[in-house]
Structure 1
Amino acid sequence: MSASRQRLSEGRWHFQHGPMDIVIGADPLGPADQRALAEAHEHAWARFVPLLSELMDEWALLRLPVQAGHPCPLQGGVARRMWQACLPWAAQQFITPMAAVAGSVAQELIRSYERPGVARAWVNNGGDIALHLTSCQSARVGLYADLARLQAHECMQGLSLDGAFEVTHTMPVRGVATSGWRGRSFSFGIADSVTVLAATAAQADAAASIIANAVNVEHAGIVRQSAQTLRDMTDLGDLAVTVDVPHLPVAWVQQALQSGLQCARECQAEGFISGAVLVCQGQSLTLPMSSGNASVFFQDEGLALA
């Protein structure tokens, strides 16, 4: 299957190639900068076309866990970015570069828009987002608490947001990523969603995976299954991933969220993330940015913000 692109409404573009499903939006700095914007779109497309092949050329290495204290064995720029984004957690737990693949691809493409004449741009790779913001620019990012609900309705119009937040150019945030057991990727935890704000999309992607894994409890009703029985060529091998979570008592959900929040706090203290929102079965915890200039506004009255 070859790469394809389609122009969408409001000047957006849809790029698709295999598992990479990307929507890009960008604004010119002024009316005279339409050509610069068009050139940025063409540059992004030219970079996108070979990306899947580049990653598949190193697929065997990308499936191996990152090893702390060892040099990066990868050659491609995106592959190396994936590896570096996952390195901070390699000494403590199992993680492969694939934990940061979507964010790293988005980050690679946003570079096409970091040029004169482009006021702002966003690259959304299946929910993992890279941002380009010039002075006085901002981006409003929607939050869906339940990834399964989003996927079930992703082709429908009018799906209401659970929350939203704004990223301004003065904030140390240029990447937003979400992970959870009901998303496209596997998780060891039970979070419906963990949304992370970080300096880059690759860092946000890796951290979201780690924190979502930490939102966890041991409960007999939680069903886990070997990853390799669920998907061919998975990087997780025979590790058990979450496939079903029953309705849990409130105290159990809070315990899982607190475990994830502690992990998020450690990530923030190390400078890996700026903030996070953790959601599980209608309950949520927020790790605010240390500067206090970012807030998540929940719009669903049934979602309890703790």
Structure 2
Amino acid sequence: MNATRIRLDAARWHWQHGPIDLILGADGEPAAVQAAFEACWTRFVGVLPELVSELKLLRQALPNEAAQNECELKGEVARRMWRACFPHRARYITPMAAVAGSVADELIAAFARPGVSRAFINNGGDIALHLTGGQQYRVGVLSNLAELSGTRLAGEQALDANLTLDAGMPVRGIATSGWRGRSFSLGIADSVTVLACNAAAADAAATMIANAVDCDHAGIVRRPASSLKDDSDLGEMLVTVDVPPLPQPLIDCALSRGAETAERLRERGLIESAALFLQGQVRVVGMIQQGAALLTHRARKPTEAPCSKYAAC
């Protein structure tokens, strides 16, 4: 299984190595951008073997009593995963919760060089950014990939939300989690998108917030993670596989639980902002600075729960 790369256009590539599937883009002086891509590729081909060599440890939950200097992992990406998950160790979490974001963070470092004005690495929806002064990226949010189609993406209003991130903001990472995504979730959120200082931190936090978006309903179908994927790091824990249409009070309750978790993480400085989506409803935690507010489109108006510091009202 060898790493492959395909040029998409003058500024973007598609790279793949086993389960790692990236879209990369960069702008700047051509020679500098080319050198950055080559340096990034050199690093990329070694990432998967490094992670596989420590997979057993990466699938083990961080103990509550762990100290930050007790990480036994050796690889830089593996240690980055562990550090991102460490603040959440009071609840069940393994370093795998931050794998996609950590890989993106590791690789984006190749673009931090003179002549590269901006760059992004999108690892299955978890995104690391490099931005220099005056640069920005616009980011679109889709809460349900099952609806992905050419028609679905016909225009900006087809997105569930969009935002603009510029170099003056403290955000360099975006991650999304939810039961509809490619990874398992303990909760029922269609998606939770988190903005943080880096992609690894956003990845771990999105997992925890999405797990917290939950309620009790007889129609929600859950299965042991091991019955769906025999090598899952979640073992026998029940993960969500189907969510029926829910009554409004349960949607409100589930979103409130997730928003409370997101607010606690924001107060601890672990995230900058989060948007939580469930069956056409949205809650936003934190405010995007400098006029780059997250704008919701397809989602119906925010849930009719009382206004609070975490609800979008």
TM score, norm. by length of structure 1: 0.94
Aligned match of 1:81: 80
Letter in 1 for 2:37: H
Contact 1:288 1:295 in 2 (8 A): no
Task: Calculate the aligned-residue CA RMSD, in Å.
Answer: 1.7
Is the partner of 1:9 in helix, strand or coil? coil
Matches within 5 A, 1:1-306: 1-28=1-28, 33-67=29-63, 68-70=65-67, 71-90=70-89, 92-150=90-148, 153=149, 158=154, 160-289=158-287, 291=289, 293-300=291-298, 302-305=299-302, 306=312
Partners of 1:283 and 1:291 lie apart in 2 by 23
* Residue ranges of structure 1 left out of the alignment (5+ in a row): none
Q: CA deviation at 1:292?
A: 6.4
1:4–1:15: 8 Å Cα contact kept in structure 2?
Answer: yes
Deviations 1:257-294 (A, max 9, x none): 00000000000000000000000000000113375644
Output the amino acid matched with 2:39. Answer: H
Asked whether the equivalents of residues 147 and 180 of structure 1 are also in contact (C-alpha less than 8 Å), the reply is no
- Of 192-201 and 160-169, deviating more is 160-169
Distance 1:158 1:49 in 2: 35
In the aligned structure 2, how far is the partner of 1:137 from the partner of 1:214? 34
Given that 2:163 and 2:294 are in contact with CA atoms closer than 8 Å, whether structure 1 keeps it comes out as: yes
- Post-superposition Cα deviations, 1:80-139, rounded to whole Å, max 9, x if no partner, equal 00001001110x210000000000000011000000000000000000000000000011
Q: State how far apart, in whole Å, the 1-side matches of 2:291 and 2:74 are.
A: 38
Shift in Å, 1:296: 1.1
Q: Identity percentage over the alignment?
A: 52
Q: Which moved more, 1:272-281 or 1:157-166?
A: 157-166
Shift of the alpha carbon at 1:242?
Answer: 0.4
Amino acid at match of 2:218: A
Unaligned stretches of 5+ residues in structure 2: 303-311
Cα deviations by residue, 1:200-232 (Å, 9 ceiling, x for unpaired): 000000000000000000111111100000012
The answer to whether the Cα contact below 8 Å between 2:141 and 2:159 also exists between their aligned partners in 1 is: yes
Residues in 2 aligned to 1:218 and 1:141: alpha-carbon distance in whole angstroms: 33
> Amino acid of the residue matched to residue 5 of structure 1?
R
Q: 8 Å contact 1:247–1:281 — kept in the other structure?
A: yes
Mapped partners of 1:267, 1:282: distance in 2: 24
Number of residue pairs matched? 298
- 1:169-215 per-residue CA deviation (whole Å, 9 max, x = no partner) reads 01010000000001000000000000000000000000000000000
TM-score when scaled to structure 2?
A: 0.91
